Structure 1
Amino acid sequence: MARRITERQRLALKLEHLTDTEVHEVLDYISIMESMRRAASLPGTWEDELVSLLAESKENARAQQAFEWESVRRRAERKDALSLSARA
Protein backbone atom coordinates (compact mmCIF):
# COMPACT_ATOMS: atom_id res chain seq x y z
CA MET A 1 0.00 0.00 0.00
CA ALA A 2 1.46 3.35 -1.07
CA ARG A 3 1.77 5.95 1.63
CA ARG A 4 0.43 9.38 0.68
CA ILE A 5 2.64 12.36 1.36
CA THR A 6 1.36 15.02 3.70
CA GLU A 7 0.85 18.65 2.79
CA ARG A 8 3.97 19.58 4.75
CA GLN A 9 6.05 17.06 2.84
CA ARG A 10 4.62 18.32 -0.44
CA LEU A 11 5.52 21.87 0.56
CA ALA A 12 9.05 20.80 1.47
CA LEU A 13 9.46 19.17 -1.94
CA LYS A 14 8.27 22.31 -3.70
CA LEU A 15 10.61 24.49 -1.60
CA GLU A 16 13.58 22.41 -2.71
CA HIS A 17 12.94 23.40 -6.33
CA LEU A 18 12.54 27.15 -5.73
CA THR A 19 15.24 29.73 -6.32
CA ASP A 20 16.67 31.72 -3.42
CA THR A 21 14.59 34.77 -4.30
CA GLU A 22 11.43 32.66 -4.47
CA VAL A 23 12.23 31.15 -1.07
CA HIS A 24 12.70 34.68 0.28
CA GLU A 25 9.28 35.65 -1.09
CA VAL A 26 7.71 32.59 0.55
CA LEU A 27 9.34 33.50 3.86
CA ASP A 28 8.03 37.07 3.54
CA TYR A 29 4.54 35.69 2.92
CA ILE A 30 4.81 33.43 5.96
CA SER A 31 5.97 36.38 8.05
CA ILE A 32 2.91 38.37 6.96
CA MET A 33 0.63 35.44 7.82
CA GLU A 34 2.22 35.12 11.27
CA SER A 35 1.91 38.83 12.03
CA MET A 36 -1.75 38.79 10.96
CA ARG A 37 -2.36 35.78 13.20
CA ARG A 38 -0.71 37.56 16.14
CA ALA A 39 -2.73 40.72 15.50
CA ALA A 40 -5.96 38.73 15.36
CA SER A 41 -5.20 36.89 18.58
CA LEU A 42 -4.36 40.05 20.58
CA PRO A 43 -7.33 41.49 22.39
CA GLY A 44 -8.44 44.95 21.36
CA THR A 45 -8.09 46.31 24.88
CA TRP A 46 -5.48 48.88 23.94
CA GLU A 47 -7.86 50.31 21.34
CA ASP A 48 -10.63 50.50 23.93
CA GLU A 49 -8.28 52.23 26.35
CA LEU A 50 -7.24 54.70 23.67
CA VAL A 51 -10.85 55.49 22.80
CA SER A 52 -11.76 56.00 26.46
CA LEU A 53 -8.73 58.25 27.00
CA LEU A 54 -9.69 60.34 24.00
CA ALA A 55 -13.30 60.52 25.12
CA GLU A 56 -12.25 61.81 28.51
CA SER A 57 -9.77 64.37 27.25
CA LYS A 58 -10.36 68.10 27.66
CA GLU A 59 -9.99 68.73 23.96
CA ASN A 60 -12.74 66.25 23.20
CA ALA A 61 -15.02 68.00 25.68
CA ARG A 62 -14.21 71.32 24.04
CA ALA A 63 -14.93 69.88 20.61
CA GLN A 64 -18.27 68.50 21.79
CA GLN A 65 -19.17 71.88 23.27
CA ALA A 66 -18.22 73.68 20.06
CA PHE A 67 -20.28 71.20 18.04
CA GLU A 68 -23.29 71.75 20.29
CA TRP A 69 -22.93 75.53 20.02
CA GLU A 70 -22.67 75.28 16.25
CA SER A 71 -25.78 73.10 16.00
CA VAL A 72 -27.73 75.53 18.21
CA ARG A 73 -26.54 78.46 16.07
CA ARG A 74 -27.61 76.70 12.86
CA ARG A 75 -30.99 75.85 14.35
CA ALA A 76 -31.48 79.50 15.33
CA GLU A 77 -30.48 80.66 11.83
CA ARG A 78 -32.97 78.24 10.24
CA LYS A 79 -35.68 79.40 12.61
CA ASP A 80 -34.96 83.06 11.76
CA ALA A 81 -34.93 82.29 8.04
CA LEU A 82 -38.28 80.53 8.29
CA SER A 83 -39.83 83.37 10.26
CA LEU A 84 -38.54 85.93 7.73
CA SER A 85 -39.92 83.96 4.80
CA ALA A 86 -43.27 83.58 6.58
CA ARG A 87 -43.50 87.36 7.01
CA ALA A 88 -42.77 88.06 3.36
Structure 2
Amino acid sequence: MIEDEVWIGPHAIIVGGVTIGRGSRIAGGAFVTENVPPYSIVSGNPSTIVKANCTPDVMNPAPLLIRRMNHSEIPHIGTRFATSTP
Protein backbone atom coordinates (compact mmCIF):
# COMPACT_ATOMS: atom_id res chain seq x y z
CA MET A 1 0.00 0.00 0.00
CA ILE A 2 1.27 3.46 -0.87
CA GLU A 3 0.13 6.11 1.59
CA ASP A 4 -0.37 9.84 0.97
CA GLU A 5 2.37 12.32 -0.01
CA VAL A 6 4.78 9.61 -1.24
CA TRP A 7 7.23 10.36 -4.04
CA ILE A 8 8.49 7.44 -6.15
CA GLY A 9 11.48 7.95 -8.44
CA PRO A 10 11.78 6.62 -11.98
CA HIS A 11 12.45 2.88 -12.46
CA ALA A 12 11.83 2.13 -8.77
CA ILE A 13 10.43 -1.34 -8.10
CA ILE A 14 8.11 -1.92 -5.14
CA VAL A 15 7.30 -5.57 -4.39
CA GLY A 16 3.64 -6.41 -3.67
CA GLY A 17 2.49 -6.44 -0.07
CA VAL A 18 4.88 -3.68 0.99
CA THR A 19 3.60 -0.55 2.76
CA ILE A 20 5.22 2.78 1.93
CA GLY A 21 4.62 5.17 4.84
CA ARG A 22 3.17 8.65 4.47
CA GLY A 23 5.57 11.31 3.21
CA SER A 24 8.32 8.85 2.25
CA ARG A 25 10.62 9.25 -0.75
CA ILE A 26 11.70 6.30 -2.89
CA ALA A 27 14.82 7.05 -4.95
CA GLY A 28 14.99 6.22 -8.62
CA GLY A 29 16.02 2.62 -9.29
CA ALA A 30 15.36 1.48 -5.71
CA PHE A 31 14.20 -2.11 -5.19
CA VAL A 32 11.86 -2.01 -2.16
CA THR A 33 11.17 -5.39 -0.53
CA GLU A 34 10.30 -4.32 3.04
CA ASN A 35 7.91 -1.83 4.64
CA VAL A 36 9.08 1.79 4.72
CA PRO A 37 8.28 3.88 7.83
CA PRO A 38 6.60 7.28 7.41
CA TYR A 39 8.76 10.27 6.37
CA SER A 40 11.77 8.17 5.30
CA ILE A 41 14.12 8.33 2.33
CA VAL A 42 14.93 4.96 0.74
CA SER A 43 17.41 4.07 -2.00
CA GLY A 44 19.49 1.21 -3.34
CA ASN A 45 19.15 -2.37 -4.50
CA PRO A 46 18.20 -3.90 -2.10
CA SER A 47 16.72 -0.74 -0.60
CA THR A 48 17.96 0.75 2.62
CA ILE A 49 16.68 3.65 4.69
CA VAL A 50 19.03 6.56 4.07
CA LYS A 51 17.25 9.03 6.34
CA ALA A 52 14.34 8.67 8.77
CA ASN A 53 11.90 11.16 10.33
CA CYS A 54 12.34 13.72 7.55
CA THR A 55 10.44 17.00 7.60
CA PRO A 56 7.46 16.97 5.23
CA ASP A 57 7.93 19.03 2.06
CA VAL A 58 4.55 20.71 2.29
CA MET A 59 3.73 22.21 5.66
CA ASN A 60 0.42 23.78 4.58
CA PRO A 61 -1.11 21.64 1.83
CA ALA A 62 -3.98 23.16 -0.14
CA PRO A 63 -7.40 21.77 0.75
CA LEU A 64 -8.82 19.39 -1.81
CA LEU A 65 -11.63 21.01 -3.76
CA ILE A 66 -14.15 18.65 -5.28
CA ARG A 67 -16.84 20.07 -7.52
CA ARG A 68 -19.32 18.21 -9.68
CA MET A 69 -19.67 19.34 -13.28
CA ASN A 70 -23.07 20.12 -14.72
CA HIS A 71 -24.08 18.32 -17.89
CA SER A 72 -23.64 21.56 -19.84
CA GLU A 73 -20.00 21.90 -18.67
CA ILE A 74 -18.88 18.52 -20.03
CA PRO A 75 -16.99 19.03 -23.31
CA HIS A 76 -18.38 17.16 -26.29
CA ILE A 77 -16.20 15.73 -29.04
CA GLY A 78 -16.40 17.68 -32.26
CA THR A 79 -18.04 20.85 -30.91
CA ARG A 80 -14.84 22.84 -30.58
CA PHE A 81 -13.66 22.43 -34.16
CA ALA A 82 -17.02 22.14 -35.86
CA THR A 83 -17.24 23.82 -39.22
CA SER A 84 -20.35 25.09 -40.83
CA THR A 85 -21.32 24.07 -44.34
CA PRO A 86 -22.50 26.75 -46.76
The normalised TM-score by structure 1 is 0.20
TM normalised by structure 2 equals: 0.20
Task: Give 1 or 2: higher strand fraction.
Answer: 2
Between Structure 1 and Structure 2, which shows a larger proportion of helix residues? 1
Q: Bigger radius of gyration, 1 or 2?
A: 1
Greater RCO (Cα-Cα under 8 Å, separation 6 or more): 2
